[in-house]
Chain A
Amino acid sequence: MPIIELKNITHAYGAKKVLEDVSLNIDPGKLTCLLGGSGSGKTTILRLIAGLEIPEKGKIYIENKPVTDDSKILIPSHERNLGFIFQDLALWPHFTVFENIAFGLKERRSQHIEQRVSEILSFFDLKDFDEKYPHQISGGQQQLVAISRALVLEPKILLMDEPLSGLDVKLKRKILEHIKDLKKSFDVTLVYVTHDHREAFAIADQIIVLNEGKVVEAASAKEIKQSENEYIKYFLEY
């Protein structure tokens, strides 16, 4: 049973169609990559799942519950129990690392905030930076803060929009390892958007290849690697 289900989604920005009749499933507990070039619609899919955009047509189900029905929102973003890592990370510049992570908890009046935040900070080796502002820490640390911020709320699903763009290869590899572990450590389903097939093959269980607003193929990483599809073969060459 898929945890996320898109049925016949069509979406446009003004006159520009970005998704056309897209249907796809994402399995629970897995790391699924949405792979595609720019303009393929991969980020849009992520934003639709998150509820940051409203589709024109089609239905989205999360954990079997319909969250949107055509352009009607049935369940708003924050009730979908998911986390989102933005491409620019979207760390709040006026909050410290601690405050960035604790903010959501505080607003939800959660208990044991300090403890939960410090647990997650230790998990990512960020203990020493809790009083720092985002601009005072390195790029890699910023990624981890963004991930901590999402995970501290214990989402079922973590959506990541090319979070590693702009990091060096070594750092990328290290953080990819972290991400791979998240599935187990945090019991979360991951949806990871990237244009880099190496990144995708390094971590993905499932890969959904997109091109010009349509699904080209959805399969396991292994199958995609061996796909006979012309576009995929072409895409993987680079």
Chain B
Amino acid sequence: MGGKLIKYPIYVTVLLLFVLFIIIPVFYTLLFFEGDWVENLKLLDQRILYLLVKSILIAFSIASFATFFGTILGFLLYRTNLRFRNFYRIALMIPLFISPYILAVAWKDLFFLFTGNSDRISSETGVILVLGIIFTPLSMLITGNAFNNINTHLEEAGLMITDLRSLIFKIILPLIKPALFTSFVLIFIFSISEFSVPSYFGVRLFTTEMFTQFSAFYNHSLAVLQSALLIFICVVLLYADRKYLADAPFLSYGGKGKKVKIFSLKKFKISDELFVFFWFFISVLLPFSVLIIQSFKGGISKFIQAFELLKPTFFSSIWLAFLGAAISVFIGFTAAYISEVRRIKTFDWFLLFVFAIPSTIFGISLIKFYNHPYLDFIYSGFVIVIIGYIGKFSFIAAKLIGNAIKQIPQSLEEAAQIEGIGFYRRIQKIVFPLVLPAVFTAFIINFTFSIGELGTTIMVYPPGSEIMPVKVFTIMANAPQSLVSAMTLIVLGVTLLLITIMYLMVKPMLKNYSDANY
């Protein structure tokens, strides 16, 4: 394999840098943690394992819930003639742009408003519902893209012999299995390491337990040990995914269809439109009207105050998230290409490994490793924040781009190879343009997650610097609800605005390629 790797100097360089800057710090922390391992191992008793199982079940439910509804929405919005589908595609994404904690608060307020009692939402079901609703758009995005890329011929062949219903279940869904899996795995990992929502709803889970060890007992080593368990579970999950999907025949899409086929909904049109509207109502209108009502309770002045507070954070936050997302996408592309085309999976495992670490523990690892006099130039500046973003989110980029690369027939690259087009030129001229929509999607998702990242950032942000989500959360304490809601809406507005601008800038390029519809 050594000889094989040396052929890809950029890959090797990126991989080594990733290992150097991110993997080594984490291993360093995991392996050389002060604290009595034996004592801590004893603390991993039955109760903790019970919590772990409970966490797994809840994360499983959330991932299933979100993937189920995300797939339905993805199909309806990307493959049918549903009215206002372009509007919904953007509008339904909104829950992703806001921190789960704030949405949880809005939901609890909402329940109290309508039922006079928030017990019902402060439960396991509440956690599943709220996180499920938040992560559904992620699944919608992933499956929607996959729906768009199915070889139309395969569908048409199916339509010859069966109706739309069995076409969906027997042909289309099996074809997008990799996307369904990606969606499930990502959401599972996000949910199992989510802390703020279960904690706010008072639901005891593995992460809240870990947090307690961390912040009430300052027992870092036990928290690290517990997060090692989480990592282990995520790795097992991905291994199963690999085993199951790696050489499965349905991945060999081969050539693609000519045009994306838009299905006409006919007699289901009204019910489907109602369903999508209902989803929009539940996931966006309801919680956000709570936020809007709250923020205008204090008049427009709260908005101005919120804006003044956030103003100094805009530049640094946007710049950091942009840089973080750009580097993550570059890493993701490199890793995905080598993993999909050359079948070398090393990088993938590293990316997953870091992705699975709970934010706070990742933050602690970075501190432990980088806080040395000779590494001060990293630790005392913004580089550490970017390292945090890259570590946390490169996996997502690699997954999304990997799925797209999988769908490019290898012959396209081979044709160029024979013509004497060099490796990097091929990537630049053939592979990259063809996966550009996925690269863009990955960039947007990474940008969104980075600009909202709190768990790791709050552990490592340089003293005196202003970062948007950190500011919202540190101001939140004891600030009037109206101010907090106003800040949330401003963050949302800024994120949406930036994404729109980026979309408009990239659109001409995307247009060009999507017309080709290979």
Q: Which residues of A contact B (CB under 8 A)?
A: 50-52, 77-79, 82-84, 86-90, 92-94, 103-104, 107-108, 133-135, 149, 153
Q: A93-B518, A94-B512 are in contact. Are A78 and B418 (CB under 8 A)?
A: yes
Hey, which chain B residues are within 8 Å of A134, CB to CB?
Answer: 516, 518
Hey, which chain A residues are within 8 Å of B416, CB to CB?
Answer: 92, 103-104
Chain B 262-290 interface mask (CB, 8 Å, partner A; 1/0): 00000000000000000000000000000
Min CB gap B1→A, angstroms = 14
Chain B 504-515 interface mask (CB, 8 Å, partner A; 1/0): 000000001101
Q: Is the CB of A93 within 8 A of B516?
A: yes
Is B170 located at the chain interface by the 8 A CB criterion? no
Min CB gap B2→A, angstroms = 15
Option from B258, B259, B409, B417 in Cβ contact (under 8 Å) with A88:
B409
Chain B 414-433 interface mask (CB, 8 Å, partner A; 1/0): 11111111100100011001
Min CB gap B453→A, angstroms = 34
Q: Is the CB of A135 within 8 A of B259?
A: yes
Chain B 485-518 interface mask (CB, 8 Å, partner A; 1/0): 0000000000000000000000000001101111
Option from A84, A107, A108, A135 in Cβ contact (under 8 Å) with B415:
A84
Hey, which chain B residues are within 8 Å of A51, CB to CB?
Answer: 418
Interface residues in B389-437 (C-beta closer than 8 Å to A): 409, 411-412, 414-422, 425, 429-430, 433-434
Is B254 located at the chain interface by the 8 A CB criterion? yes
Option from A88, A89, A107, A133 in Cβ contact (under 8 Å) with B419:
A107
Hey, which chain A residues are within 8 Å of B417, CB to CB?
Answer: 52, 77-78
Hey, which chain B residues are within 8 Å of A78, CB to CB?
Answer: 417-421
Nearest B-chain residue to A79, judged by Cβ: B420
Number of A-B contacts (CB under 8 A): 79
Q: Is the CB of B409 within 8 A of A90?
A: yes
Give the bracket for the number of chain B residues in contact with chain A: 20 to 34
Q: Is the CB of A92 within 8 A of B412?
A: yes
Q: A103-B419, A104-B420 are in contact. Are A52 and B513 (CB under 8 A)?
A: no
**Can you give 7 A-B contacts (C-beta < 8 A)?**
A52-B417, A77-B417, A82-B418, A89-B411, A90-B414, A103-B416, A107-B422
Min CB gap A178→B, angstroms = 19
Measured in the bound complex, the distance between the Cα atoms of B425 and A107 in whole Å is 9
Q: Is the CB of B418 within 8 A of A94?
A: no
Nearest A-chain residue to B259, judged by Cβ: A135
Nearest B-chain residue to A159, judged by Cβ: B418
Hey, which chain B residues are within 8 Å of A92, CB to CB?
Answer: 412, 415-416, 430
Is B100 located at the chain interface by the 8 A CB criterion? no
Q: Is the CB of B258 within 8 A of A135?
A: yes
Is B158 located at the chain interface by the 8 A CB criterion? no
Min CB gap B153→A, angstroms = 11
Q: A133-B515, A134-B518 are in contact. Are A93 and B259 (CB under 8 A)?
A: no
Min CB gap B411→A, angstroms = 4
Q: Is the CB of A90 within 8 A of B434?
A: no
Hey, which chain A residues are within 8 Å of B419, CB to CB?
Answer: 78, 103-104, 107, 149, 153
Is B462 located at the chain interface by the 8 A CB criterion? no
Nearest A-chain residue to B419, judged by Cβ: A104
Q: A78-B418, A78-B421, A135-B259 are in contact. Are A103 and B516 (CB under 8 A)?
A: no
Min CB gap B135→A, angstroms = 32
Q: A92-B412, A94-B433 are in contact. Are A135 and B517 (CB under 8 A)?
A: yes
Min CB gap A162→B, angstroms = 12
Option from A79, A86, A94 in Cβ contact (under 8 Å) with B411:
A86
Q: Is the CB of B434 within 8 A of A94?
A: yes
Nearest A-chain residue to B413, judged by Cβ: A90
Min CB gap B435→A, angstroms = 11
Min CB gap A211→B, angstroms = 25
Known A88-B411, A103-B429, A108-B420; further 20 A-B contacts with Cβ < 8 A: A52-B414, A79-B420, A84-B415, A84-B418, A87-B411, A89-B411, A90-B415, A92-B415, A93-B256, A93-B516, A94-B433, A103-B416, A103-B419, A104-B416, A107-B425, A107-B429, A134-B518, A135-B259, A135-B516, A149-B415
Hey, which chain B residues are within 8 Å of A88, CB to CB?
Answer: 254-255, 409, 411
Point out which of A77, A83, A90, A153 has the most chain B C-beta atoms below 10 A from its C-beta.
A90
Hey, which chain B residues are within 8 Å of A90, CB to CB?
Answer: 409, 411-412, 414-415
Hey, which chain A residues are within 8 Å of B430, CB to CB?
Answer: 92
Hey, which chain B residues are within 8 Å of A89, CB to CB?
Answer: 411
Measured in the bound complex, the distance between the Cα atoms of B425 and A84 in whole Å is 19
Measured in the bound complex, the distance between the Cα atoms of B429 and A2 in whole Å is 36
Q: Is the CB of A93 within 8 A of B415?
A: no
Measured in the bound complex, the distance between the Cα atoms of B416 and A108 in whole Å is 12
Measured in the bound complex, the distance between the Cα atoms of B411 and A26 in whole Å is 24
Hey, which chain B residues are within 8 Å of A77, CB to CB?
Answer: 417-418, 420
Option from B254, B411, B421, B516 in Cβ contact (under 8 Å) with A104:
B421
Hey, which chain A residues are within 8 Å of B513, CB to CB?
Answer: 93-94
Measured in the bound complex, the distance between the Cα atoms of B416 and A149 in whole Å is 10
Measured in the bound complex, the distance between the Cα atoms of B414 and A88 in whole Å is 12
Measured in the bound complex, the distance between the Cα atoms of B409 and A110 in whole Å is 28
Hey, which chain A residues are within 8 Å of B414, CB to CB?
Answer: 50, 52, 84, 86, 90
Q: Is the CB of A93 within 8 A of B420?
A: no
Hey, which chain B residues are within 8 Å of A135, CB to CB?
Answer: 258-259, 516-518
Measured in the bound complex, the distance between the Cα atoms of B412 and A52 in whole Å is 12
Interface residues in B151-203 (C-beta closer than 8 Å to A): none
Q: Is the CB of A93 within 8 A of B517?
A: yes
Measured in the bound complex, the distance between the Cα atoms of B430 and A186 in whole Å is 28
Hey, which chain A residues are within 8 Å of B433, CB to CB?
Answer: 94
Point out which of B418, B512, B518 has the most chain A C-beta atoms below 10 A from its C-beta.
B418
Hey, which chain A residues are within 8 Å of B512, CB to CB?
Answer: 94
Measured in the bound complex, the distance between the Cα atoms of B122 and A121 in whole Å is 70
Measured in the bound complex, the distance between the Cα atoms of B414 and A77 in whole Å is 9
Hey, which chain B residues are within 8 Å of A93, CB to CB?
Answer: 256, 412, 434, 513, 516-518
Nearest A-chain residue to B515, judged by Cβ: A133
Q: Is the CB of A103 within 8 A of B418?
A: no
Q: Is the CB of B516 within 8 A of A107?
A: no
- Which 8 A-B pairs give the minimum distances between C-beta atoms? A93-B518, A78-B420, A104-B419, A90-B411, A93-B516, A90-B415, A86-B411, A88-B255
Measured in the bound complex, the distance between the Cα atoms of B409 and A87 in whole Å is 11
Measured in the bound complex, the distance between the Cα atoms of B420 and A82 in whole Å is 10
Hey, which chain A residues are within 8 Å of B425, CB to CB?
Answer: 107
Min CB gap B157→A, angstroms = 13
Nearest B-chain residue to A78, judged by Cβ: B420
Nearest A-chain residue to B256, judged by Cβ: A93
Measured in the bound complex, the distance between the Cα atoms of B409 and A93 in whole Å is 11
Q: Is the CB of A107 within 8 A of B420?
A: yes
Nearest A-chain residue to B516, judged by Cβ: A93
Measured in the bound complex, the distance between the Cα atoms of B422 and A104 in whole Å is 11
Q: Is the CB of B254 within 8 A of A83?
A: no
Min CB gap B293→A, angstroms = 48
Hey, which chain B residues are within 8 Å of A52, CB to CB?
Answer: 414, 417-418
